[in-house]
Amino acid sequence: MWENIKTFASEFFVTGDPLIYGADVAIVLTLVAIVFTLSYFKKWKWLWKDWITTVDHKKIGIMYILCSILMLFRGGVDALLMRTQLAMPDMQFLNAEHYNAIFTTHGVIMILFMAMPFMFGLFNIMVPLQIGARDVAFPFLNSLSFWLFFWGAMLFNMSFVIGGSPDAGWLAYPPLSGIDHSPGVGQNFYIWGIQISGIGSLMTGINFVVTILKMRAPGMKLMKMPMFTWSVLSSSLTIMLAFPILTVTLAMLFIDRFAGGHFFTLDGGGNPMMYINLIWMWGHPEVYIVVLPAFGVFSEIFATFSKKKLFGYTSMVLAMMSIAVFSFFTWAHHFFTMGSGANVNAFFAVTTMLIAIPTGVKIFNWLFTMYKGKITFETPMMWAISFIPVFVIGGMTGVMLSVAPADFQFHNSYFLVAHFHQVLIGGVVFGFFAGLYYWWPKMFGFRLNERIGKWAFWFWNIGFYVCFMPQYGLGLMGMTRRVNEYDWGQGWDMGWMPLNIVSTTGAFLMGIGFLFQVWQIAYSIKTHKRDVNGDPWNGRTLEWSTPSPAPVYNFATLPKIQEVDSWWEEKERIKAGKPTPQPPLEPIHMPDNSAIPFIQSLCWFVAGFGFVFGWMFFAIPGLIGVAVTMIVRSFQKDDGYYISVDEIKKTEASIRGAG
């Protein structure tokens, strides 16, 4: 019996690597510290009532962003481990299997478990405030979406220490991801972690499309919406169309692995190229899903810190929506080299070039917004300005890759690695950082320290160029992606080693920038000065008309919108002594908290864990739990509650520093 237990444990837990043993210790110590802190300060009830069961969109947004920052740390450590391995020839830091696992998890975490939740966090916190709504359309569904993301992310990250990580690449191409070439449970963790969180992402997309189309304040026509809200609408519509493709594709891959379905196994009558087409039919719109909201963030910031209206509002809206449409017609440029034929390659080359046009329109609109503006250089504006040269370079290299004959040379080289990091870090991460700094006062009622923020900014930006510019050169020198080592001949004779050393140095500079951000947040929490007027940046859109942080009901009275930049125009009317009359206060109806989203998503986690290991005694009870929670919810009468006028008055006075 003891031998059986030891055999099971050796297969169940990942063993044999000092780095993983270190991770085991860190996980245990972190869990102990969390349990001790919550118990010592008697915060378990607070955690359950105020956070785990909340349906408040602002708290859900904060939880998304907190998870995203933790995933940025995890994915960033993966990146530093890979760059350390590649810094010198014949490094023995990571073996090939461990490198492939880290390579796979880095890509998945950064796209699906860092960028997506960061984006959803900004959606949740700002969209209802920008459109004058008291909540999202479906608060219960919003909570369920978050917890599905959370448990999906936990399931995927468990593979690092339990069962073994997936190692077939972040898009898991068959046949490598098939049962013959990846017989362990790593790919099952990949499938079910992404599948569970992806269901939550689809729900979020639906929720925000309905919220934006149906819950805008009186007078807010579509063409009077803030540009960030437009970016969320375009991104959410793309989510609704793209994520079902991912769900079906992963389901087919699991059937191949679990039941011998042979959708993608060539010798069983399937076609691996069908998987590659399907995954990129989701994967390329996904790039625009995460970058469109960043475009919206930049639009808000450029207008605010230039003290001007956004230049070319209508053209910006058309550019956003055209990017969302064109994103579904470019997927085949990821496999120009796979024999699709000249006509197919030509079509996707043209569509890839065309999608650069609306992106270029946006760049010029932002430049014209700043032209003759009264620009101030607070941290959000610095991140926004730094985005422009980074994204222009990324766009130009993207156009180079869109030329099919040239792509035959660039394909699978480090030139491509540099390009997509240029776009995804310079476009997405810089954009979400800008949004975090910009809206932090609205979330927490105080600004982040500017001095430390500027240190973080410069380490990130200098590190970015030092890391990724050499990789263009490495690609042109013939260094291919997905290699875990190279020999001294390649390092010296082909010139790979110096550029790899420089690139690794840049990665560690970005890591230092992240540490400065952590210090900045901790220092600001300790020494902050409270924002009492709710408008620290002299903003233009409706969220800055509310107290900071915004109360649970968002608006004491629903605003009436007359124009774009409604809050800026209202401030001008106040200065002129002609403020818009406010209706009398009335009781406000709000939804009740619910534990069902947390419990149902936990049941999904249990079911997913069972399917990962093929344990039906786990999977079936988990699915039964999902069904039971759905039935319970369907019979639940959620009448919500009312906030009285007296309570509204007290809250407004207290939160604005008057009581």
What is the average pLDDT across 324-336? 93
pLDDT of residue 18: 83
pLDDT of residue 387: 95
pLDDT of residue 658: 47
Rounded to whole angstroms, the Cα distance separating 102 from 26 reads 18
pLDDT over 60 (residue 657): no
Comparing 20-29, 69-78, 168-177, the range with the smallest average pLDDT is: 20-29
Among the listed residues 293, 280, 372, the one whose alpha carbon sits nearest the alpha carbon of residue 329: 280
> Per-residue confidence at 655, pLDDT binned at 50, 70, 90?
confident
pLDDT of residue 533: 83
- Is domain 43-488+498-594+638-657 given the CATH code 1.20.210.10 in the classification? yes
DSSP state for residue 642 in the 8-state scheme: E
What length is written for the chain?
A: 659
pLDDT of residue 656: 63
* CB-CB contact of 14 with 22 (8 Å): no
pLDDT over 60 (residue 291): yes
* CB-CB contact of 90 with 99 (8 Å): no
pLDDT of residue 1: 67
Among the listed residues 430, 324, 276, 307, the one whose alpha carbon sits nearest the alpha carbon of residue 376: 307
DSSP result, 438-482: HHHHHHHSBPPPHHHHHHHHHHHHHHHHHHHHHHHHHHHTTPBTT
pLDDT tens-place string over residues 336-376: 888 888 999 999 999 999 999 999 999 999 999 999 999 99
Residue 91 CB burial class (10 angstroms; 0-12, 13-18, ≥19): middle
The token pair that represents 343 in the structure block: 């006509």
How does the average pLDDT of the chain come out, rounded?
Answer: 93
What is the average pLDDT across 506-514? 98
Among the listed residues 658, 651, 654, 656, the one whose alpha carbon sits nearest the alpha carbon of residue 585: 651
Question: At residue 654, what is the residue type?
Answer: S
Burial 288-299 (b: 16+ CB within 10 A, else e): bbbbbbbbbbbb
**Peptide bond between residue 549 and the one before it cis (omega within 30 degrees of 0):** yes
Rounded to whole angstroms, the Cα distance separating 43 from 639 reads 28
* CB-CB contact of 184 with 125 (8 Å): no
Among the listed residues 303, 307, 310, the one whose alpha carbon sits nearest the alpha carbon of residue 374: 307
pLDDT of residue 528: 83
pLDDT tens-place string over residues 206-248: 999 999 999 999 999 999 999 999 999 999 999 999 999 999 9
Q: What percent of the chain has pLDDT over 90?
A: 82
pLDDT tens-place string over residues 594-618: 999 999 999 999 999 999 999 999 9
Among the listed residues 138, 132, 216, 205, the one whose alpha carbon sits nearest the alpha carbon of residue 591: 138
pLDDT of residue 659: 39
Residue 314 CB burial class (10 angstroms; 0-12, 13-18, ≥19): exposed
Could you tell me if residue 387 is left (phi over 0), alpha (psi between -120 and 50 degrees) or otherwise beta?
A: alpha
* CB-CB contact of 445 with 535 (8 Å): no
pLDDT tens-place string over residues 379-427: 999 999 999 999 999 999 999 999 999 999 998 999 999 999 999 999 9
Residue 28 CB burial class (10 angstroms; 0-12, 13-18, ≥19): exposed
Which residues have a Cβ under 8 Å from the Cβ of 432 and sit 6 or more positions away?
68, 115, 118, 119, 122, 293, 294, 297
pLDDT over 80 (residue 10): no
Among the listed residues 303, 289, 285, the one whose alpha carbon sits nearest the alpha carbon of residue 227: 303
Rounded to whole angstroms, the Cα distance separating 69 from 515 reads 11
pLDDT of residue 652: 82
pLDDT tens-place string over residues 104-129: 999 999 999 999 999 999 999 999 99
What are residue 89's phi and psi, to 5 degrees?
-65, 150
Give the helix/strand (H/E) hosting 648: helix 645-655
Question: At residue 234, what is the residue type?
Answer: S
Question: At residue 105, what is the residue type?
Answer: T
Instruction: Tell me the pTM.
Output: 0.96
* β-sheet bridge partners, residue 13: 162
pLDDT over 80 (residue 46): yes
DSSP state for residue 511 in the 8-state scheme: H
Rounded to whole angstroms, the Cα distance separating 555 from 440 reads 19
**209 vs 636, which has greater pLDDT?**
209
